[in-house]
Amino acid sequence: MAAQAGSADASRADVACLFAEFLEVSFHLVLYTRGVYPPELFERRKKFGVPVYQSRHPELNGYIGKVLKSVYEALVEKGSQEIRIAVNITNSDDTVVERFVFVWKPFGEQSMPPSLADLQGDLQSLLLKLSTVDAVLQPLPENCLFFVEIEFMDDEDAELEDWVVVPGSSQPIGKSDSSIPSTVPLKKFQCGSTQLLAFVEQCKIGALSSP
């Protein structure tokens, strides 16, 4: 439903819609660049002014669509509450070996909404980072799968690992202290009162394969 210009709810809906669109592009781009699905399942598109790849698989697109619908509706309903979203990539043992994390802090009811043009520019810059981050990450093992987790933060001191799953089973990366993940920062920005932090967590693939 189109937002009505000029109302607080409409501004929130516009920003939520733009962020959900960004997440859709990001999910597809992560799955393509990290080789979770064969490259022939994707087609080249241009989103946010950036060349990206989008899945042509109906079931995959349906799953991503359901997640994004939940994110959009929750953002509009919960307003200024911080949300953390993770694309978790698992190996054949169902262990999370890599996690792309997006921490989104929307503008509050008493704050001015960000400029959509400025916000789109910041999201474009992050997409460029996502399209090249594969070069600094370790190769993933074969037969990986993924699931998305969503968490709304009620407590500023809540741990990043406290996930609400959509769907799947919540779990930390790796299985032991030897597989403590490394963090690769992607981007952190503030646009008006809206903030976004994005990074990748990746465990040592070799550590996971050891007994």
Domain ranges of the chain: 8-155+162-209
pLDDT in tens, 112-141: 667 889 999 999 999 999 999 999 999 999
pLDDT in tens, 37-62: 999 999 999 999 999 999 999 999 99
**Higher pLDDT residue, 161 or 95?**
95
Residue 197 pLDDT greater than 80, yes or no: yes
Query: Considering only the top CATH level, what class is 8-155+162-209?
Result: alpha beta
pLDDT average, residue stretch 156-163:
41
195, containing H or E segment = strand 194-202
Distance CA 27, CA 71 (A): 13
Q: What is the pLDDT of residue 111?
A: 64
The C-alpha R_g of the chain, in whole angstroms, comes to 17
Look over the chain and give the mean of its residue pLDDT values, rounded to a whole number.
81
pTM of the model: 0.80
Q: What is the pLDDT of residue 159?
A: 43
131, containing H or E segment = helix 116-132
pLDDT average, residue stretch 6-11:
47
Residue 66 pLDDT greater than 90, yes or no: yes
Distance CA 63, CA 206 (A): 31
Residue 87 pLDDT greater than 60, yes or no: yes
Q: What is the pLDDT of residue 154?
A: 64
58, containing H or E segment = helix 58-78
Residue 165 pLDDT greater than 70, yes or no: no
Distance CA 184, CA 14 (A): 30
Q: What is the pLDDT of residue 193?
A: 78
Residue 163 pLDDT greater than 60, yes or no: no
Distance CA 100, CA 87 (A): 5
Distance CA 58, CA 67 (A): 14
Q: What is the pLDDT of residue 74?
A: 85
Place of tokens 């994110």: 71
Residue 109 confidence class, pLDDT cut points 50, 70, 90: low
Which of 203, 164, 161, 153 is CA-nearest to residue 180?
203
- Answer whether 140's CB lies under 8 Å from 31's CB: no
- Which residue type is seen at 116? L
Residue 110 confidence class, pLDDT cut points 50, 70, 90: low
- Answer whether 26's CB lies under 8 Å from 102's CB: yes
Least confident of 7-16, 123-132, 137-146, 167-176: 167-176
Residue 85 pLDDT greater than 70, yes or no: yes
Least confident of 97-101, 112-116, 141-145, 202-206: 202-206
